[in-house]
Structure 1
Amino acid sequence: MTVADRPARGTRPANRRELILAAATRLFGSRGYERVGISDVAEAVAVVPSALYRHFAGKDELLAAVIGDIADRFAAEIDAQTDPARTLAAAATFTLDHRPIGVLWEREARCLPAGTQDAVRARMRHARRRFILAVQAARPQIPEHQTGLVAAAVLAVLLGPSFHAIDLPRPGYDALLTELANRALTTELPDPPPAGPAAPSGGLQRTTKRERLLGAAVRLFAERTYTRVSMEDVAESVGMSASSVYNHFPNKAAMLVTALERANGYLQVMLDDTLARAQDPIGALHEMLACYGRFALAHPHLLDLLITETHNIPREQAAPLLQAQREYIDEWVHLLRRIHTDLDATRARVVVHAALTVINDLARSPGIRSRPGIDAVLTAVCRRVLAI
């Protein structure tokens, strides 16, 4: 909803609750729950904050309604399809029409209180189950044990636009997103490797207090969100006093910045090494997928921060990090366009983001990343999405 769409102040439109939900969806998706106040939502629908409380008891209830509503509507849209072949097109249109959906499900839902979050996640699980059944109907030959995995990959492609601002004219965007989702759907997944000896548990850990604190902060930020973790929480998790944390980090933001810069540095170095060894663009992209997949599977909490918490670091430090991330994607786009010479830069960027979102989403799911042979599955799906 744009400013021009707002009802005139002092009017009482019959659909005010729907207008509030639409405004909150846009604001929570673009700014993040912690950065949006009831007054911001009220301003977006041209009412005083007290008018919102006639519909929602507070911001938590409003967020729960936003996420639950979009989950219910997604499930209803999927169930409304009578032709399985049309399911992906309908889902693509829905996710583009409701672009914050991925951010709301994967980032903002974590901001809800435990009891409320459980109820909302039940509605999200219902939507995902309906989608899994639709995928099963659209491609019945998928082995039963792979259906959920394929559906997760397809849904990751469809939710990809939620995590970037790239725009294309409609309905061409719908058609491209449908095609990318169909590529994920029709990927022939490799069989899991035969069971072997269990991987050894344990391993050695860093011994310095600074690194122990940083490792704990990364895990806690990913599990609870950055804004809901205090310096005291980090200290307690490693058995240190809260005051001693400040000998290593001046504040919580410094922990987040250090973690994000370290993750970005790792990816940039791996990119340089891969390009230096590559003989052609296809070989380079194959190896880049493998490297990114290994990073994602080995460091899911760090990956989570790159995706969900960059907006929480100070602007002057966020700018160079975001620029580095854009330039990292630029290298993928450049290589992909050397292979697919008819692909313009904007569409190529959408394709690259779709492939990386598959890795991002699946690697952050504990039940998926622990599957034997998941690295080969990620590579197979992403090669198919990139058409390489």
Structure 2
Amino acid sequence: MTSDKVAAGAATADSPRREKLLGVAAELFLHNGYDSVTVEMICAKAGISGPALYRHFQNKQALLIAVVEKGLESLHQFARATVETQPDPTTALETMIEHHILSVIDAPPTPLIFLKNEHAFPEADRRRVRREMNLYAEEWISTVSPLRPDLSEPEVRLLTQSVFSMLNAVATLNKGLDQKSIVSTMSYAAIQALTAIPHASA
């Protein structure tokens, strides 16, 4: 049985209660960790009963997998569509950066949830999530590479992953800032980090 089937249970994938559970679980898994989070904690924060949770997810592990897969799939689909429809790499990159920042503001960043709780994933699910993360990164790398002819492919990969870490930190470091300020500040920082070619030393 695939994890999608396990995670979906008998409920529809887009039911409001299921979305509520995903959002609550994402916050708890990010800030507390899988081992410290109980089904009772999730249900209490979501305002539902235990049996209601099990109508949507087989168990806590299935809920964790669904949280991570949903976020990654959304990021990757947007990046792929942007790269395919936007011929200008600078515009494509700016679009992906803004979307990534907004997704982090809107919900806990999926990559951080996965990295913090990777030990709780079955091996097959762990490999699939890492593959999806790599595919998402490839969309960025293929966009940055023509803008940074001064860098080798490994250097572009390192730079891109470093920018991911910077943007994902918005989830915990955005206290007291409005959305417009966060997007403006972090978009500028990311585009400069990824595209600014250093001047050669005299």
Aligned to 1:347: 155
**CA deviation map 1:108-133 (0-9, x unaligned):** xxxxxxxxxxxxxxxxxxxxxxxxxx
**Structure 2 residue matching 1:364: 3-state secondary structure:** helix
CA contact (8 A) 2:94 2:191 kept: yes
Offset at residue 239 of structure 1 (A)? 3.3
Large movers: runs of 4+ above 4 Å: none
Instruction: Name the CA distance, whole Å, in 1 between partners of 2:168 and 2:96.
Output: 14
- Amino acid across the alignment from 1:333: I
- Amino acid across the alignment from 2:60: K
Offset at residue 383 of structure 1 (A)? 1.0
CA contact (8 A) 2:30 2:113 kept: yes
Q: Please, which of 77, 99, 102 is the counterpart of residue 269 of structure 1?
A: 77
Offset at residue 268 of structure 1 (A)? 1.3
**CA deviation map 1:304-353 (0-9, x unaligned):** 41442334221111111101111211222222221222311111111111
Aligned residues: 183
Instruction: Name the CA distance, whole Å, in 2 between partners of 1:271 and 1:254.
Output: 26
Aligned to 1:167: none
**Structure 1 residue matching 2:68: 3-state secondary structure:** helix
Query: Normalising by structure 2, what TM-score?
Result: 0.80
Q: Please, which of 11, 15, 20 is the counterpart of residue 212 of structure 1?
A: 20
CA contact (8 A) 1:297 1:364 kept: no
Q: Please, which of 293, 296, 300 is the counterpart of residue 108 of structure 2?
A: 300
Q: Please, which of 50, 67, 71 is the counterpart of residue 259 of structure 1?
A: 67
**CA deviation map 1:256-305 (0-9, x unaligned):** 10011100110011112211331222222121111111111111365641
Distance 1:282 1:239, change over 3 A: closer
Determine if the alignment matches structure 1 residue 336 to structure 2 residue 140: no
Aligned to 1:58: none
Identity over aligned pairs, percent: 22
Q: Work out which structure has the larger RCO, using CA pairs closer than 8 Å and 6 or more positions apart in sequence.
A: 2
CA contact (8 A) 1:226 1:309 kept: yes
**Structure 2 residue matching 1:309: 3-state secondary structure:** helix
Distance 1:239 1:294, change over 3 A: closer
Offset at residue 217 of structure 1 (A)? 1.4
**Structure 2 residue matching 1:300: 3-state secondary structure:** coil
Q: Please, which of 42, 50, 55 is the counterpart of residue 247 of structure 1?
A: 55
Query: Normalising by structure 1, what TM-score?
Result: 0.44
- Amino acid across the alignment from 1:214: L
**Structure 2 residue matching 1:367: 3-state secondary structure:** coil
Instruction: Name the CA distance, whole Å, in 2 between partners of 1:348 and 1:338.
Output: 10
- Structure 1 unpaired stretches of 5+: 1-205
Instruction: Name the CA distance, whole Å, in 2 between partners of 1:334 and 1:209.
Output: 38
Aligned to 2:7: none
Determine if the alignment matches structure 1 residue 314 to structure 2 residue 99: no
Alignment RMSD: 2.2
Instruction: Name the CA distance, whole Å, in 1 between partners of 2:161 and 2:129.
Output: 17
Distance 1:371 1:258, change over 3 A: closer
- Amino acid across the alignment from 1:358: M
Instruction: Name the CA distance, whole Å, in 2 between partners of 1:289 and 1:295.
Output: 10
Q: Pick the structure with greater CA Rg.
A: 1
CA contact (8 A) 1:297 1:369 kept: no
Offset at residue 207 of structure 1 (A)? 6.4
Instruction: Name the CA distance, whole Å, in 2 between partners of 1:293 and 1:283.
Output: 16
Instruction: Name the CA distance, whole Å, in 2 between partners of 1:317 and 1:371.
Output: 33
Offset at residue 371 of structure 1 (A)? 6.1
Distance 1:359 1:313, change over 3 A: same
Determine if the alignment matches structure 1 residue 362 to structure 2 residue 164: no
CA contact (8 A) 1:285 1:332 kept: yes
Distance 1:236 1:354, change over 3 A: same
CA contact (8 A) 1:362 1:368 kept: no
Offset at residue 372 of structure 1 (A)? 4.7
Determine if the alignment matches structure 1 residue 237 to structure 2 residue 40: no
Distance 1:369 1:303, change over 3 A: farther
Structure 1 segment 79-158 matched on structure 2, within 5 A: none
Offset at residue 229 of structure 1 (A)? 0.6
CA contact (8 A) 2:109 2:171 kept: no
